[in-house]
Chains A and B, each alone.
Chain A
Amino acid sequence: MPQVKIVAKNFMDMVASLPAMKLDKLYQNAFICQAILRSMPPLAKRYVLQLLFIDAPVTGKMLEESVLADGLSKHKVAIDRLVQLRVLTEALDRKKEATYRMNPTFQMNVQKLIVHGGVLPREPMPSTAGFRLPSLEELDAYAVQQWECFLLHLISSSEAEKATTNISSSMMKVFQRGLLSQKDDKEPPRLTEGGFQFLLMDTNAQLWYIIREYIGNSEERGLDSADLVSFLLELSFHATGEAYNINTLSDIQRAIIRDLADLGLVKLQQGRKESWFIPTKLATNLSISLSDTSSRKQGYVVVETNFRMYAYSSSKLHCEILRLFARVEYQLPNLIVGAITKESLYKAFQNGITAEQIISFLQQNAHPRVAERIPTVPENVTDQIRLWESDLNRVECIPAHFFEEFPSREVFEAACDHARECGGFLWENSKKMWLVVKAESFAYMKEFLRGKKQ
């Protein structure tokens, strides 16, 4: 049985946590099989490939044979993942050994993919259709703009006011659930802890978070989550930059497409007669496997040992994100210069951002030149960030009650023992016969002492 509990970290984890029935239904779509396969850890991919054409059950021992001792944990994770995803089914053979068999639907679909390739349910627009397609750069710029606009809106609602006009307010509400809190309508909404943490995530994690919210929300709107998932995955296999006819979509899908357009996953384009949608990179990246730590991307931040921070970016968003935990001192056309100070960090901590999140953000977004170094962020800086955080936690306030003037030492000691028993004991001074207990166990203590009196 699988031992690893799935924490819904990304889109694929969410797929894996779908009930078995829905999962089997999903596997009937070859694209979903492909997306699932790509999301797997390398070793799991390897096992799928090895067993792809084998109908007979294969013993786990045979698979394990080629794994070195230090890879055994990875092997376990891979097998568990495959079993969770119901790609492999586990059984015990006569000798009580675990054997594995591949899910026939999944197997057949992957075989087909390899031999024939996948066929999309709709053809891209022929190049003769009459209007100019945006170039890939334009499309990227569009996606960037939409996405940043959304994020900026989160950071400060006022700033993004004019940009928000093209995001439907109902959608915004969905996306903002859990990220913003609004006490009443007059006050501007504030970012929650989750919201701050969200901003520091990398883009794919953010995307997945949003999509997860979107899917989680779908049931309320009467959509089947499996349908939604399969449509999103299918979308991710559309070619970037090609236009597809919106008429090929069902009504529900059309509604989804409009929502996604607000986020920059697709660009809508009105043709002469028909309307088209053009998937952007954001959409096609939905199915990229992202194993947790090994992802690398082009970063832009350099942190020096003197706590100064240089960010090679012109993005306003980047600037705002850095402002979450650092003091931005000046901004040049392509450079943001800032400093990590105690004050700026305290502000971040108050907003619920943890030291680890800041550090991992700095590490993940390190400029490629410093990213090659070890450590990417100077140790004295990371240590100091952690120290400042632990500074805040040095004093812990617990509401408590103070007892004194016990009638006798016996009663005092009995009271101490009782306090310990019920877990409310905090402090005692046996010389002066003082006792401090937690507020919640005050009632027990009172009762106990009353009993003693009698």
Chain B
Amino acid sequence: MSPPVPSKILTDDVSLLMVLIDTNPHFWSSIKPHFSFSKFLSHVLAFLNSILLLNQLNQVVVIATGINACGYVFDSSSGSVSQRAESLLPKLEEFAENDESLSERDDDSGNGVGSSLLSGSLSMALCYIQRVFRSGPLHPQPRILCLHGSPDGPGQYVAIMNSIFSAQRSMVPIDSCVVGIQHSAFLQQASYITGGVYLKPQQLDGLFQYLATVFATDLHSRNFLRLPKPVGVDFRASCFCHKNTIDMGFICSVCLSIFCKHQKKCSTCGSTFGQAKTHDPSASQQR
């Protein structure tokens, strides 16, 4: 009934690594003088290859995060022979093509880098992980690695927070490696809440070393290792009305929606607020 060599032999350090790659073209062209996308890819692909090299049961899935779309571009378990990460390149090209075709309608470039659809790719990663969880009692240990550079899109605040809590609930850590110029408050919170690692490399040309030293660490080894810890986490929320990041704001006393200005009626739950202009403006920087 069961073969002499069981189909699944798993050690504690077998991992399923979901990698979210930021393919925001505006971001990459803005940073090109310092660190081109091809350099980035070269580091990341080497990293993915080394993850696959470490254990033949390790699994890597890559999701590209564009401005208008996100999509799976690589799954090491898809073929019978273990694939190498380079094989994602044609698919990535295809993806960029598709992403571009979606964007052509509103071509208002030139101002700002814009954010990429992190919430979408996070959700896709979580869906994939859920499928793995349901596949049976033996599965590799999943974790998510966000390689992100674009600035946060406050409009995605609610969706991203929901993904973060869902990841936390299914015990999937979200690691974040920020290659952009700014810190990402979203990813800081994501890593903080899910118990992942947040890191913003100082030297981008050493990206591989950062990835290999910090993000290659499997969940089992993390129990006895000390990984870099950020000094602090930016817990500021975005208001639901204008999607601005705010320090202090108004909170609906019924559903806890956050607003930057006083509203007559809560747009989320529809409760109407009291007569006076200052209804319940709690000082709300705490969370």
Contact = CB atoms under 8 A, between A and B. Distances in A.
Nearest to A75: B224
B132 to A, nearest CB: 16
Contacts of A143: 3-5
Contacts of B54: 37-38, 45, 49
B53 A42 contact: no
Interface in B188-234: 208-209, 212-213, 216-218, 220-221, 223-227
Contacts of A313: 1-2
A290 interface: yes
Interface residues of A, number: 58
Nearest to B213: A50
A200 to B, nearest CB: 14
A372 B137 contact: yes
A236 to B, nearest CB: 9
Interface in A249-308: 264, 281-282, 285, 287-291, 294-298, 300
A403 to B, nearest CB: 59
A50 B86 CA distance: 22
Contact of B5 (A65, A68, A285, A289): A285
B284 interface: no
A427 interface: no
Contacts of B3: 140, 143-144, 281
B9 A66 contact: no
**Most chain B CB neighbours (cut-off 10 Å) among A43, A49, A115:** A49
Given A45-B54, A49-B212, A282 B4 contact: yes
A141 B54 CA distance: 29
A52 B4 CA distance: 36
A37 B13 CA distance: 14
Interface in A139-154: 140, 143-144, 147-148
A312 interface: yes
Given A50-B212, A136-B80, A298 B5 contact: no
B11 A46 contact: no
Where chain B touches its partner, the secondary structure class is loop
Contacts of A298: 2, 6-8, 138
A315 B9 contact: no
Given A45-B54, A296-B138, A53 B226 contact: no
A170 interface: no
Interface string A308-321: 00001111001000
Contacts of A67: 224-226
Contacts of B217: 46
A49 B221 CA distance: 14
A70 interface: yes
A336 B208 CA distance: 53
- Kindly list the 8 A-B residue pairs having the minimum CB-CB distance in the complex, ordered from nearest: A71-B224, A297-B6, A42-B13, A147-B4, A49-B212, A294-B12, A203-B4, A114-B49
Given A285-B9, A298-B8, 18 more contacts: A34-B53, A42-B220, A45-B54, A46-B217, A49-B50, A52-B50, A67-B224, A114-B49, A114-B53, A140-B3, A143-B4, A147-B4, A203-B4, A296-B8, A296-B11, A296-B138, A298-B2, A318-B1
Interface of A: 34, 37-38, 42-43, 45-46, 49-50, 52-53, 65-68, 70-71, 74, 110, 113-115, 117, 136, 140, 143-144, 147-148, 203-204, 207, 239-241, 264, 281-282, 285, 287-291, 294-298, 300, 312-315, 318, 334, 368, 372
Interface of B: 1-13, 46, 49-50, 53-57, 80-81, 84, 86, 137-138, 208-209, 212-213, 216-218, 220-221, 223-227
27 contacts: A38-B55, A38-B56, A42-B12, A42-B220, A45-B55, A49-B50, A66-B225, A67-B225, A68-B225, A68-B226, A71-B224, A74-B224, A113-B53, A203-B5, A204-B9, A281-B3, A281-B5, A285-B9, A289-B55, A291-B11, A296-B9, A296-B10, A297-B6, A312-B1, A313-B1, A315-B1, A368-B138
